[in-house]
Amino acid sequence: MNPLSSSTSRPHAEHSPSALKNYEACPSFKGRSGTNPIAEAGTRIHTAIENGDPSLLADEVERSLAEWCLAFLADNRGKKSVNAKLVASHQEVRVEMSVGDFYTYGTSDLVDLYDDGSGVLYDWKTGYGSVEDAEVNVQVQAYAFGVFARFPELRNLDCYLVLPRRGEITYARYARADMERVQLRISTIIARAKESAGKIFNPKEGVCDYCANQGSCKALAEKALLIGSKSGFEVPDNVSLDGTPADRAKLLKLANLLANWCEDTKKELLRQALEEGAEIPGYKLDQRRTPRTIDNPLLGYDAVKDLVSVEEYLLACTRVSMPQLEKFVAERAPRGHKAEAKQHLEDVLRGSGALRDEGVIHLLKPIRS
């Protein structure tokens, strides 16, 4: 098994520690399933940290992020060892929270326990986003609650949220006595989410963005579409997705207009930051690497033919352009037989099982009158 796939799918509780802040903001929040490239990179980085071996990572950026976290861990453990002895270290700790009538659970990345009754919790945050300070962060508080419950001898817990992409660390110390107020906070969030889901909505930036109800939430549409009416666009009276056909037509027109406006606004603000050094409070200029590719396969093969076989090289060439192949075949065919030659090419490829039809994309296109 690929060592980097060992922790690819941790099951999540409905009101998991990482989702509590969203439920606190809006009790009707609903988590999205599925994954994305940043989450997948996060899983690989976590596994490399867990194994203490960044060299498991092929990507340079991911490797440097894992190294950053491990360097912090080594430094912090070194400082802590001056006054206390590390007696146990738990990775991927399942922490359970029984609060009032409610039960939930989560997974903490790393918990170190020391012989003086203290502990240290580390959580690696490998995405680009910021997080709330550890002093008020409900995810950290939920983990702390679960860790205190799991290790009864523990008196206090230092919690570190480590954000390698942002070069940030946020820290808080919790004592066992703090867990009463933490329990009240967590049980209130879960009770409100259970009782008010579908009744109370509180659209909020940074929460709705991750909500599975985003496309159908009336409260969010009413708030977000204010921008439409302020910009002079026609906003339908009924912004729900099951309004009259006329309302839905207006809604679709508005959605297309706003989508273009969003893209153009983001592009222009990025241009201002890049070219004019403009500062936007709360944001910083950052960069992501795009995948490396070989534009000229012949040149590429010539350069590496002593290192890989032609079969291996072809296996790395993931797609072959059908229009380009058709062009070559048609150029060689006698006049009047080009279409036939192209069809023959397609038949041969299809017969061999090599040709895969592209899927069909559906879209709603305006009818021009």
Stretch that binds ligand SF4, among 118-126, 143-151, 201-209, 352-360 (CB under 6 A): 201-209
Q: 182 or 211, CB closer to ligand SF4?
A: 211
Stretch that binds ligand SF4, among 3-11, 102-110, 208-216, 344-352 (CB under 6 A): 208-216
Question: Smallest distance from the beta carbon of 202 to ligand SF4, in angstroms?
Answer: 6
208 forms part of the interface with ligand SF4 (CB under 6 A): yes
189 forms part of the interface with ligand SF4 (CB under 6 A): no
Least Cα distance to 109 among 64, 48, 172, 170 occurs for 48
Q: 15 or 46, CB closer to ligand SF4?
A: 15
Q: How many residues sit close enough to ligand SF4 to count as binding (CB under 6 A)? A: 14
Question: Smallest distance from the beta carbon of 209 to ligand SF4, in angstroms?
Answer: 9
Residue of 4, 179, 207, 254 that binds ligand SF4 (CB under 6 A): 207
Stretch that binds ligand SF4, among 11-19, 204-212, 236-244, 273-281 (CB under 6 A): 204-212
* Pairwise CA distance, residues 123 & 109, whole Å: 5
Question: Smallest distance from the beta carbon of 205 to ligand SF4, in angstroms?
Answer: 9
Task: Please check whether residue 55 is in contact with residue 45, taking contact to mean a CB–CB distance below 8 angstroms.
Answer: no
Residues 88-107 close enough to bind ligand SF4 by CB under 6 A: none
* Pairwise CA distance, residues 289 & 199, whole Å: 43
Task: Please check whether residue 42 is in contact with residue 49, taking contact to mean a CB–CB distance below 8 angstroms.
Answer: no
Residues 214-233 close enough to bind ligand SF4 by CB under 6 A: 214, 217, 219-220
193 forms part of the interface with ligand SF4 (CB under 6 A): no
User: Could you give the count of Cα atoms lying within 13 Å of 112 in the half-sphere of its Cβ?
Assistant: 19
* Pairwise CA distance, residues 277 & 362, whole Å: 40
Query: What are phi and psi for residue 5, nearest 5 degrees?
Result: -105, 10
Residues 28-57 close enough to bind ligand SF4 by CB under 6 A: 28-29
Question: Smallest distance from the beta carbon of 207 to ligand SF4, in angstroms?
Answer: 5
Residue of 56, 201, 236, 254 that binds ligand SF4 (CB under 6 A): 201
Annotate 126-148 with b (16+ C-beta within 10 A) or e (fewer).
beeeebeebeebbbbbbbbbbbb
Least Cα distance to 182 among 303, 298, 97 occurs for 97
Least Cα distance to 245 among 255, 236, 256 occurs for 236
> Which 8-state DSSP code applies to residue 236?
-
Task: Please check whether residue 228 is in contact with residue 39, taking contact to mean a CB–CB distance below 8 angstroms.
Answer: no
Residue ranges in contact with ligand SF4 by CB under 6 A = 26, 28-29, 201-203, 207-208, 211, 213-214, 217, 219-220
